[in-house]
Structure 1
Amino acid sequence: MTAAVIARQGSPTAARALPLLLAGALVLTAIAYPLSSGSARDTVSWTIVVLGSLLSVVHAALSRGARTGAALLVLVTLTAIAFEAVGLATGFPYGSYRYSDVLGPTLLGVPFLVPLAWLMMAWPSWVLAEHLTRTARPGRRRAARIAAAAYVFAGWDVVLDPQMVQAGYWTWAHPDPGLPGIDTVPLTNLAGWLLAGLVLMALLDLLVARTAVPGPPRIGATAPLLALGWMTLGGALAHSGWLGLPGSAAWGVALAVPVLLVLAVRATARRR
């Protein structure tokens, strides 16, 4: 049964479990990444991205309606291809980089895996931002939500990019200067992800406002938040313990601290 049909039927109990099953499979596959090598690791990478992108579309469809799920897929794919194609051709906004052939078929020079990776990252980032900004003033809530989502989106990449460079999936022509402890990815990449994140999240916020079914989300946010939490903090653990990337591990934890503090403050306020 497709996510669209499930959403029209009001998300029965079995359907509500599907995002959690996908998130669980994603976590288990991510655990396998540092334990694998060679072509097996490439297969694990593809599996992670496919599971993550599927989780995003399914959760969006079940929580906000089939229109939102379908529109999310189209919006993120087109935005990713546009930014990445321009980046490859001009070096803006990320800096000069190139993809390796191991990522397979491309469109405008962009491997098919890349828009799926954006999709995997985009929806959980927006969902977390929505949760973080619920108590913001109504007049400022949308701007705060977009800024928070772009921050989470870019922070996720701070952990992910050094791992992908290490795997040989892409390389930078001029990796310096970079964040302290990360010598393979330039600061221009972070600036580019912040810009791309702001554009994408502004579009995504508008998309949800115009396509979502009326009322609150039909299912909870546990699945995408679990995926996001594991891929950032769990990724930081893998970087420090198995992959020999202590710099990106430290930055992943540091960038997560503001989010964790906001969540802690909100949890404390609810208990009072």
Structure 2
Amino acid sequence: MTTTAPAPAPAAVRVVPWALTAALVATAIAYPLASGSFRDTVSWGIVLLGSALSVAHAGLSRGARTGVGVLVLVALVSIAFESVGVATGFPYGSYSYSDVLGPTLLGVPFLVPLAWLMMAWPSWLLGEVLARPVRASRRRPARIVWAAAVFAAWDVVLDPQLVQAGYWTWADPTPGLPGIDTVPLTNLAGWLLAGLVLMTLLDLLVERTARAPRTGPGAPLFALAWMTLGGALAHVGWLDLPGSAAWGAGLGAAVLVVLAVQHRRAGRP
């Protein structure tokens, strides 16, 4: 019996995500070296490239319906959570956005849903990878929990940086994680809750719309790793944020250890 090898994916399916990732990394490197209004421009560049990477990879790898679905779903969930958060303080704690971020919808600057989009799809992909060793009957909840945890952990690094940039301010930033005195623990709890809701919906979306992946998750996962571990380096080397640098390095290293253990176990006879 002969089998037919799957047709190779078009070059664009492989090249476009990596080209966006390269542009994202280059822009992220520029952030700690910039200052003033140019740094604000770089922030917009990072978020626009990161969100474009998420939509492009989801669409090219899993199909156009999945790409559009990721865009719409993340936009709706992010605006819902953030507008309630600004109005009531739930679930993150009381905070307010500055005027630097420009136009808003329901009190939420347009940049914020794009930042969610940048973070959401790579977090789901990493959750999928981390959940692969789990037995099939438990794989979905494991994937959702892992993805939500990655989503929240990413914000542990990102939030102190953006508070420092003056994009938003917390009414009461204490108590916070050790070494981070500008962001309250309620924010982490809120991101975990939001992550569980969002990743559950993303998981259902992928199940109902996606075809078999046409390319691997390498580009978004590399972007996630760079933004976390590279961000930690920028925090300690240029931005004077040693606490979030330590947390970013520690959380990133923990994920790498889990992946290494899984790889070692998978290779055993």
Name the structure 2 match of 1:166: 164
Aligned-pair CA distance for 1:82: 0.2
Asked whether the 8 Å contact 1:11–1:62 carries over to 2, the reply is: no
Instruction: Name the residue aligned to 1:127.
Output: 125
The SS at the match of 2:90 is: coil
- Please report how far the alpha carbon of residue 11 of structure 1 lies from its aligned counterpart in structure 2 after TM superposition: 4.6
Contact 1:56/1:119 (8 A) holds in 2: yes
Which SS does the other structure have where 1:98 is aligned?
strand
Asked if structure 1 preserves the Cα contact closer than 8 Å seen for 2:93 and 2:186, the reply is yes
Structure 2 counterpart of 1:6 = none
Tell me if the contact between 2:74 and 2:198 (Cα under 8 Å) persists in the aligned partners: yes
Partner of 2:92, secondary structure, is coil
1:98 deviation in Å?
A: 0.4
String of CA shifts for 1:143-178, please: whole Å, max 9, x gaps.
000000000000000000000000000000000110
Q: Quick check: 1:12 aligned with 2:10?
A: yes
Which residue among 100, 111, 114 is the counterpart of 2:112?
Answer: 114
Q: Residue in 2 aligned with 1:235? A: 231
- Matches of 1:246 and 1:26, distance apart in 2: 23
Letter in 2 for 1:78: L
> CA deviation digits over 1:227-262, x for unaligned, max 9?
100000000000011100000001111222331111
- Partners of 1:271 and 1:15 lie apart in 2 by 29
Matched letter for residue 95 of structure 2: Y
Determine the C-alpha separation between the residues in 2 that align with 1:165 and 1:259: 25
Which moved further from structure 2: 181-190 or 250-259?
250-259
Judge conservation of contact 2:179–2:242 (CA < 8 Å) in 1: yes
Deviation at 1:266, TM superposition (A): 2.1
**2:42 maps to 1:44:** yes
In structure 2, C-alpha distance between the alignment counterparts of 1:51 and 1:71, rounded to whole Å: 18
Aligned partners of 1:165, 1:264: CA distance in 2, in Å? Answer: 34
Alpha-carbon distance between aligned partners in 2 of 1:22 and 1:155, rounded to the nearest angstrom:
23
SS at match of 2:132: coil
1:271 is displaced (CA, Å) by 3.7
Q: Is the 8 A contact 1:94 1:189 kept in 2?
A: yes
CA distance in 2, matches of 1:15, 1:145: 25
Please give the alpha-carbon distance, in whole angstroms, between the structure 1 residues aligned to 2:185 and 2:9. 43
Per the alignment, residue 151 of structure 1 pairs with 149
Residue 243 (structure 2) aligns with: 247
Please give the alpha-carbon distance, in whole angstroms, between the structure 2 residues aligned to 1:94 and 1:10.
45
The alignment yields a C-alpha RMSD, in angstroms, of 1.2
CA distance in 2, matches of 1:270, 1:192: 35
Task: State whether residues 233 and 245 of structure 2, in contact with CA within 8 Å, keep that contact through their aligned partners in structure 1.
Answer: yes
Partner of 1:34: 32
SS in 1 for 2:174: coil
Aligned partner of 1:209 in structure 2 is: 207
Q: What runs of 5+ residues in structure 2 fail to find an aligned partner?
A: 1-6
Shift of 1:269: 2.8
Give 1:63 deviation, angstroms: 0.9
C-alpha change, 1:10 and 1:111, in structure 2 (3 Å) is farther
CA–CA distance in structure 2, aligned partners of residues 210 and 258 of structure 1: 32
Deviation readout 1:68-101 (Å, 9 max, x if unpaired): 0000000000000000000000000000000000
**Structure 1 residue 15: Cα displacement:** 3.4
Q: Name the CA distance, whole Å, in 1 between partners of 2:12 and 2:159.
A: 35
Letter in 2 for 1:61: G
Alignment check: 8 A CA contact 2:225 2:252 kept: no
Corresponding residue pairs, total = 262
- CA drift of 1:120 comes to 0.1
Q: Taking structure 1 as the reference length, what is the TM-score of the superposition?
A: 0.94
Aligned counterpart in structure 1 of residue 262 of structure 2, from 240, 262, 266? 266
* Structure 1 segments of 4+ aligned residues over 4 angstroms from their partners: none
1:202-226 Cα shifts (integer Å, max 9, x gaps): 000000000102x3x1101111001
Cα displacement (A) at 1:270: 3.8
Q: Once the two structures are aligned, what percentage of the paired residues are identical? A: 74
2:189 corresponds to which of 191, 201, 204:
191
Give TM-score scaled by structure 2 length.
0.95
Asked if 1:61 is matched to 2:59, the reply is: yes
Q: Deviations over 1:3-51 (max 9, x none)?
A: xxxxxx9851133200000001000000000000001100000000000
Any unmatched runs of 5+ in structure 1? 1-8
Once residues 260 and 69 of structure 1 are traced to their aligned partners in structure 2, the CA distance between those partners, rounded to angstroms, is 27
